[in-house]
Each structure stands twice: as structure tokens, then as C-alpha cells.
A and B are shown apart, each in its own frame.
Chain A
Amino acid sequence: MAKLLDKQRYKCALGAMQTVQAITRAIPVLHSGPGCAQKLSDSTGSSGYFSPNIFPCTSINEKDVVFGGTKKLETTIENALKVIDADLYVVLTGCIPEIVGDDTGEVVSRFEDADKPVIYASTAGFKGNNYIGHEQVIDAIIDQYLEKSEEKEKGLVNIWADVPYQDLFWLGNIRELEKLLAEIGLTPNTIFGYNRGIDQINKIPKAEFNLLVSPWVSVGNMKKMEKKLGLPWLHLPTLPIGAFETSKFLREVGKFAGVNEEKVESVINEHENYYYYLIERYADLFLENRVINKQFSVVADAQYALGITKFLANDLGLVPAKQFIVDDTPKQYREAITEEFKKLNFNLQADVIFETDSYKIHEQIKEHDYHGYPLILGSYYEKELTESLKGNYLNIAWPVQDKVVLDDFYAGYTGGIRLIEDIYTVAVQRFN
């Protein structure tokens, strides 16, 4: 039977134009059909100095399919260099030029001597989704731009997390991770968001190591950097949300970086004191509010499914029902991620299902007995479903239509408090 294509939870690889956009003063140059950027630019927070409406694009048509579009690509890059004042030009290819066989790499190589760096990433939609596209862009920076550095900066750590724009909280999260690292005396380096651009990219090879905070996204990038730039890397699959994971996070980073243990413990102590002060003060709310029932499901990408499941189980003492990972995680990472869901406190384990078909996910949620109102944290697609089950719903994954986030975040101690606020705001609204 034919499958219905509906409720997509991610975009095609060309969606990586948002990864480029997240690097300040970097511009994507699209070698794609007209309209690709338009279709992919629905995320909020994407206007500004460069917005998808002005991304240079070859707008290839039938003629370029028959005769090749490389000439058009060359003039598009040439003119982009003339009229757009950017620090980094990233050529992204769509499906059409890759199907018909345009040699984008060759065209881009003609700009080796340009005043500004021009690189390219192969982001044809049939190669994967925008999580893969994000990796392709970072790979392109490593392969085509970065050089190994003999000079190292003491305490400098590159932080890599999930996909900008696809992750609603990308900006706030990465800033909070930076802050945490700075508190234990390290110097964080990231390339996305305000005031982060080509200078930060140039610093990458000088770091002591790479810190990857993601279940699977960018694992390939880390391996590439290890090989080419000689950068060791620490992989922490769980986005730290709340005290339990964040303290663990700081200890592991501190140990890997060789930070004085006392220093780390004193930072942890200070944060935990405040964190539990807040929890204590609101304990009556948590205890008395029976609306938050015992069980929850997260329907999100691997990052949030794992991070939030750990937080709700470890910090809030809720019981995980089935968890759904919807980012089409590559098969080689699935086993390790499934294992992570078994490492919960109180000997709890969570069932995790890798599924992109909303219908199947919704059927399983409907069938499950949540012992009361379910708590569903997911994309906008779960709203109607949760309403029909009289559950509590929070929109935390793409697509987001129920929440406006400028620089809010769920990472760290503060992030955990924010998530509690959001969940209990939904819960109390039920009766008010």
C-alpha cells in the first residue's frame, strides 16, 4: 500500500542552509531549483542581515537539467562574492544538480583564490534529512577550510550540540553549556549564534578537545576532526537538563579536561543548592498536583527524547512510558541510544522506539495505559492527540506552533527549572 507523506518532522538535507545561517556572517549560496529556500525557511527567527529570501540561488530550470548548470553556478558565486558582504560562502547543492551530475566541487575550486573562503557541501535531499545536512556543512568546514594547528590554547574547548533552528532552543542551550564550562574554568568556543562566526571557526583547531553533547548528530564530524586536526573528543550523549544530569556533565567534562575536582564540586554545589531550594519551595505543587500523572512520553529527536526522559525520570520522579525518536537516527547509532534509555535512576528503564510515521506513533500512544492523564512532550502534531486523551501537552520539538522561543533553553540547572515551569504552567492552566 502506498504510504502517505504527511507530518514531516524534519526537512531535507538542504535545510542545512539554516546551519549556515546560524553562523554569523556566513551565507549559503544555493545551487538548487527556485523555491527550495522558500519551502525550507519556515522557522521563526530566521530574518536578519541574511535571510532565506536573499540567499543567492542558481534557480536552475529545465535547461540546466539538460545542459548542466555549472556555468550558472559559477556566475552566481562570482556575483555573490561581489554584492554580498559575508565572511564565509557555503555553496549547498539541492537534489536536481546532484541527480544530473553537476560537478559542484570543481566549480567551487575555481574560487580558491577568492578574497573570502568559498566552500561547498553536498546537501541533496535524497542523501538524508537536515540532521545529516548539518553534519555535511560542518564536514565541509573541516575538509575545505580548517587546517591543523600546532599552537594550542590552554583550556579552550569546542562545544558542539544539536542542529540550529531545527532545535527550538539551540541558541539558549549552547550559551548555557558555554556558561557551565566557563564556570569550571574552561574557555568555551562555539560557532553558532550572536557574535560567533569566522573568528570562532578559526579557533577550532587551537582547542584542547571537542565536546559533543548529542546522542548521534556530529559524531562523524568529531571523528573527522580527530583525524585531520588531531583533536581528541569527549562524547556526552545526553543533553544535561536539571541537576542530576548537569552535575554528572560537569564532573565528566572536568575529569576529561583535567580540571581540579574541588573546583568542579564547588561549582556543582552552588548550583545544586539553589536548584533544590527552588524545588523544595514548590514541593507542595509537585506533590499536590495530581494532574501531572505518573507517566509520560516524549516524541522528539534523539536529543530531547533522551535528555527529557532522563530529567523527568531522575529529577521529577515520573515514570517513562514509551519514548519516540523521530529524527530518522542512522541505524548504527540506535543500539547505543537505546542503551542510554536503560540508564535511569531507581532502576527504571524506558522503552524507546525509532519511528518517523506519526500514525504509528499516535496509535501506540492511544493504546498505552498512562494510569491517568498522559503527559506528552512533542511536536505540534501531538497537540490534537493529547487533547483527545485529555492529557497535558508541551510543544518542545519541531514543528513548533505553540511556543515562541527567542533564547530560552532547557539545558543545565536553569534549563531544568525552565522545563518544570513550562510543564506545570500547562498543568495548572487545566483548572484555571
Chain B
Amino acid sequence: MSYKIAVASSDGKQIDESFGSAKRFIIYEVVDGKYNFLEERIFQQEKSGKDTESSTEKCATSGSCEIEGSCNNQTAGCGSGAGEGTAKVELISDCRCIVCQKIGFRIQKQLERKAISAFDVSVPVEEALAKIAYYFERMDNHESLRAKRI
């Protein structure tokens, strides 16, 4: 059995980024309890969802149209509390869990809906991967965790 773990780390060594500020996620694949680097997924700042004329106009006057646009024009945007988050959740929707330094409550709820676990910890990436792989392996094989923690 294999699954993927998403990691928010700026240098690939330490879990040091919050879910919201992470610009990319490092994806590891775990096969039979062993984890390997799979890929890196860059988060593309969303182009203002619906390219309406008004936003194009706005672009001409404002240099930061993309950021503003993503907030103002999306119907399911910041106003409803999802927005950028939703797209980020989509980016890792095939992962079993996400490891990051901090994560907001709303995003956690969205992840929960997709049965993705969130671990907010500040530890080395290696340690996190080892512990999570151990945990899921035990869970999947219906084995007790009652053993010395690694």
C-alpha cells in the first residue's frame, strides 16, 4: 500500500512554513513503510478566476492585480473564507496528510472533509516522515502503537 505525504518546508530539511505561507509543497511517497521524495508542487497564485473585463481594466491601473483580483472577483473567494486555501487543498488532495508548522482551523476542516490529516509541528522533515510512516503503518496493519516510539 502506498500513499503520499505533503510537507511544507522552505529548505527541505526543517518543517518551517505555515500552510498559508507555503509557496510549494514537497511530496513524498511512502511505499510499504519506506518514504521517498516524489515531486515538488508549486502553488500557482490563482489568476483572477473569471477574467472579466473589469478586472482586466483594473489590471491596467494596478500592478498587483493578481493578488487583489483573486480576492475580489472570486465568488468562492476570500469573502467566504476559502479562496486561496481551497486551491491549495486541491493541490494536495491526493495526499494522506500534510505536515506544516502551523495551520488554520478552517483549512483543517476542509482537509478533514477529504480525510487528509494535518500535523502542525516544528521538527526536522526526516523525523516527521519517520514518525508518520510508522504511525500509518501501524494503523493500516491494525497494530497497537504500544511500543517504543521512534
Query: Taking CB as reference atom, which chain B residue is nearest A126?
Result: B146
Query: Taking CB as reference atom, which chain A residue is nearest B121?
Result: A67
25 A-B interface contacts by CB (under 8 A): A62-B117, A62-B119, A63-B118, A63-B119, A63-B120, A63-B121, A65-B135, A65-B145, A66-B132, A66-B135, A67-B119, A67-B123, A67-B128, A67-B131, A68-B149, A99-B144, A99-B145, A99-B146, A100-B145, A100-B146, A100-B149, A101-B146, A101-B147, A101-B148, A101-B149
Q: How far is B64's CA from A227's CA once the two chains are assembled, in angstroms?
A: 76
CB neighbors of B among A56-93 (8 A):
62-63, 65-68
A265 to chain B, nearest CB (A): 57
Q: How far is B123's CA from A63's CA once the two chains are assembled, in angstroms?
A: 12
Q: How far is B132's CA from A62's CA once the two chains are assembled, in angstroms?
A: 10
Could you say which residues of chain A place their CB within 8 Å of the CB of B123? Answer: 67
Chain A: residues with Cβ within 8 Å of the partner, total of 9
Could you say which residues of chain A place their CB within 8 Å of the CB of B120? Answer: 63
Could you say which residues of chain A place their CB within 8 Å of the CB of B147? Answer: 101
Q: How far is B132's CA from A99's CA once the two chains are assembled, in angstroms?
A: 16
Could you say which residues of chain B place their CB within 8 Å of the CB of A66? Answer: 119, 131-132, 135
Could you say which residues of chain A place their CB within 8 Å of the CB of B118? Answer: 63
Residues of A within 8 A of B (CB): 62-63, 65-68, 99-101
CB neighbors of A among B94-141 (8 A):
117-121, 123, 128, 131-132, 135
B38 to chain A, nearest CB (A): 20
Q: How far is B117's CA from A65's CA once the two chains are assembled, in angstroms?
A: 12
Q: How far is B145's CA from A100's CA once the two chains are assembled, in angstroms?
A: 6
Could you say which residues of chain A place their CB within 8 Å of the CB of B121? Answer: 63, 67
Q: How far is B146's CA from A101's CA once the two chains are assembled, in angstroms?
A: 7
Query: Taking CB as reference atom, which chain B residue is nearest A100?
Result: B145
Q: How far is B26's CA from A10's CA once the two chains are assembled, in angstroms?
A: 49
Could you say which residues of chain B place their CB within 8 Å of the CB of A62? Answer: 117, 119
B150 to chain A, nearest CB (A): 10
Could you say which residues of chain B place their CB within 8 Å of the CB of A101? Answer: 146-149
Query: Taking CB as reference atom, which chain A residue is nearest B117?
Result: A62
Q: How far is B146's CA from A68's CA once the two chains are assembled, in angstroms?
A: 13
Could you say which residues of chain B place their CB within 8 Å of the CB of A63? Answer: 118-121
Give 16 A-B pairs besides A63-B118, A67-B123, A100-B145 with Cβ atoms closer than 8 angstroms.
A62-B117, A62-B119, A63-B121, A65-B135, A66-B119, A66-B131, A66-B132, A66-B135, A67-B119, A67-B121, A67-B128, A99-B144, A99-B145, A99-B146, A101-B147, A101-B149
The 7 A-B residue pairs whose C-beta atoms are closest, nearest first, are A66-B135, A99-B146, A63-B119, A100-B145, A101-B149, A66-B131, A67-B121
Query: Taking CB as reference atom, which chain A residue is nearest B149?
Result: A101
Query: Taking CB as reference atom, which chain B residue is nearest A62?
Result: B117
Could you say which residues of chain A place their CB within 8 Å of the CB of B148? Answer: 101
Q: How far is B7's CA from A222's CA once the two chains are assembled, in angstroms?
A: 54
A259 to chain B, nearest CB (A): 51
